[in-house]
Amino acid sequence: MASAAIFPLEARGVSVSLGGHAALCDVDLAIDARRRVVVLGANGAGKSVLLRTLHGLIQPSAGSILWAGSTERPRAQAMVFQRPVMLRRSALANVRYALAVNGISGAELECRAREVLARVGLAKLADRQALVLSGGEQQRLALARAWALEPAVLFLDEPTASLDPAAAAEVERVILEIHEAGAAIVMTTHNLGQAKRIADQIVFLHAGRVREQTSAADFFAKTSSPEKSRFLEAELP
């Protein structure tokens, strides 16, 4: 697993404008190595845009993304989306392809591919076509592709949103194992129970602005703003 030398990951005064719409406004936050950060907020709050901007898929209109104080974007990061693209080949070949694209070959490629498939519980399905796997299995395969590259930080954009509870629980298990192996986790979810299970830190977004960045325990124990109260009341029973 990559070292902590790329942390903290910071957003400093980051604003993002998409199609004339201000998706993020003057965002400041910091993420340390091996954190489990969950980004919460209502639809349209800017959660996915924030993840994509941190990952480098979207350039800030203003401000900077800094990795250990540098604007140099490290490669030891990966992102998994709600509906990952499955290539028309076996589960094992999907992982092999990801490794090959990233310059890994030979015995190391084969060893890593099979090892991560086993870790995500797909060893027996290694030769099955990825496109016939269930939604949960496809998501675990996407996590395996990411894990194979040993990222220091893994971004997850609503990774269980379209899964049934059992499949979601399996995906959560894999996410926590990837964290145990040394990666920081930064994810979005609408599931507050999942946020409590996974997060040690919460970033709460409202209308493109960070309203709170605090420990998960404090976030769920304290009321700090009307927006947060409305968000939690709408989500919690």
Partner 1 sequence: MKHSVVFCVLVAVLLATFDAAAQAAKPSIVVASTTSTEQSGLFAQLLPAFTRASGIEVRVVAVGTGQALDLARRGDADVVLVHDLAAEEKFVADGFGVKRYPVMYNDFVLVGPKADPPGARGLGIIPALAKIEAAKAPFVSRGDKSGTHAAERRLWTEAGFAAPKGDWYRETGSGMGPTLNVASGMNAYTLSDRGTWLSFRNRGELVVLVEGDERLINPYGVMLVNPAKHPHVKAAAGQAFIDWLISPQGQAAIGAYTIDGEPLFVPNYRGE
Residues of the shown chain interacting with partner 1 in the complex, contacts defined by CB under 8 A: 2, 18-19, 52, 55-59, 64, 70-85, 87-89, 98, 101-104, 142, 145-146, 149-151, 155, 161-162
In the complex, the smallest distance separating the C-beta of residue 191 from partner 1, rounded to whole angstroms, is 14
Nearer to partner 1, 100 or 118 (CB): 100
- With CA atoms as reference, report the closest residue to 75 among 137, 153, 181: 153
Nearer to partner 1, 40 or 141 (CB): 141
Nearer to partner 1, 29 or 152 (CB): 152
Number of neighbours of residue 150 by Cβ within 10 angstroms: 16
Nearer to partner 1, 37 or 152 (CB): 152
Q: Under DSSP, is residue 171 helix (H, G, I), strand (E, B) or coil?
A: helix
Nearer to partner 1, 59 or 223 (CB): 59
Distance CA 160, CA 156 (A): 9
In the complex, the smallest distance separating the C-beta of residue 215 from partner 1, rounded to whole angstroms, is 28
Q: How far are the Cα atoms of 59, 120, 127, 198, 227 from residue 52, in angstroms, in the given order?
A: 9, 25, 32, 20, 24
In the complex, the smallest distance separating the C-beta of residue 80 from partner 1, rounded to whole angstroms, is 6
Distance CA 129, CA 153 (A): 28
Nearer to partner 1, 165 or 226 (CB): 165
In the complex, the smallest distance separating the C-beta of residue 79 from partner 1, rounded to whole angstroms, is 4
Number of neighbours of residue 79 by Cβ within 10 angstroms: 20
Nearer to partner 1, 88 or 223 (CB): 88
In the complex, the smallest distance separating the C-beta of residue 150 from partner 1, rounded to whole angstroms, is 7
Q: Under DSSP, is residue 79 helix (H, G, I), strand (E, B) or coil?
A: strand
Q: Which long-range contacts (CB under 8 A, 24 or more apart) does 13-19 make?
A: 13/62, 13/63, 13/64, 14/53, 14/60, 14/62, 14/63, 14/64, 14/65, 15/60, 15/61, 15/62, 15/63, 16/46, 16/49, 16/53, 16/58, 16/60, 16/61, 16/208, 17/61, 18/49, 18/58
In the complex, the smallest distance separating the C-beta of residue 153 from partner 1, rounded to whole angstroms, is 9
In the complex, the smallest distance separating the C-beta of residue 67 from partner 1, rounded to whole angstroms, is 11
